[in-house]
Structure 1
Amino acid sequence: MAIAEALSWVGLLVAMAFKYGLDMPLGVTVMGSVHGAVFTAYVVTCLVVFSPLRWRFWVLVLALAASVPPLVTVWFERWADRRGLLTERDSDEPTFWTRVGHVLRELN
């Protein structure tokens, strides 16, 4: 998803160059939609995987912040991979979503 998000950013930037440089706005309409969908998928992916991968909250924040500037998601993915943050670790400690589920059950 990180690479797809970066590529869609590049596509949107190229489309913007065509729109403002050559007065051809159709590319921004198409690439804007594509980038919006891929950006949303990247954010949802980060929110889904941070718990099973046992990321600290600041790593999630960094992953989400990386989606704002162009191409930074690729840097984040490489950084996280070098630190072993993209592989699931064995642990008896409950995940974030397990804790949320427990709190919700207790509230009922």
Structure 2
Amino acid sequence: MSPRTLFRRLALIEAVTWTLLILGMVLKYVTGTTELGVRIGGGLHGLAFLAYLAATVYVAVDGRWSAGRTLAGLASAVIPYATLPFERSAERRGLLGDRWRLGPGGRTGEVPRSALERLQAATLRRPVVTAVIGAVVVLAVFGALLVAGPPVPRS
């Protein structure tokens, strides 16, 4: 899967789960019918949110995005549906490649410059292992956040 495909899919998934969460909030707070929509939509959105953040960093390292652009990509996940215009903007600016720069079939003679790039080059050589480890890390963070529970409102 290319950086473009990964980023585009996760931007869309993140936006779709925003819809589920918002619908759940309408059911809970406006109609007062059920809390189930917030539990399910919120859980799915939380998982998609974390996956999108991880993918943004991974794609940013590959594309050598500036710190500001990377932070803008991360921040786009906080605003409902903002991942979609951010993804379109990144595409228009040529920030999303058809292949991984440091992966097999990437740019010839490309040498990792930093520890993050060396780590990425190593992970791109083993995509299945990387996908499994990435999923485990995202699920572990998600599980830890579930155990911590929602923020407690101040009285």
Q: Same fold (TM over 0.5)?
A: yes
Distance 2:114 2:85 in 1: 26
Is 1:14 matched up with 2:23? yes
Aligned-residue CA RMSD in angstroms?
A: 1.9
Where does residue 50 of structure 2 map in the other structure?
A: 40
State the TM-score, normalizing by the size of structure 1: 0.83
State the TM-score, normalizing by the size of structure 2: 0.59
AA in 2 matched with 1:98: E
In the alignment, structure 2 segments of 5+ residues that lack a partner are 1-9, 102-106, 120-155
User: Size of the alignment, in residue pairs?
Assistant: 100
Structure 1 ranges of 4+ moved more than 6 A: none
Residues 68-90 of structure 1 show CA distances to partners (whole Å, capped at 9, x for unaligned) of 11000001000000000011564
- Of all paired residues, the percent bearing the same amino acid is 36
Distance 1:41 1:76 in 2: 16
AA in 1 matched with 2:117: T
Is 1:94 matched up with 2:113? yes
Where does residue 105 of structure 1 map in the other structure?
A: none
AA in 1 matched with 2:38: V
Contact 2:112–2:118 (Cα < 8 Å) also in 1: no
AA in 1 matched with 2:77: S
AA in 2 matched with 1:21: V
In the alignment, structure 1 segments of 5+ residues that lack a partner are 101-108
Is 1:56 matched up with 2:74? no
AA in 2 matched with 1:52: D
TM-superposed deviation, 1:95: 5.0
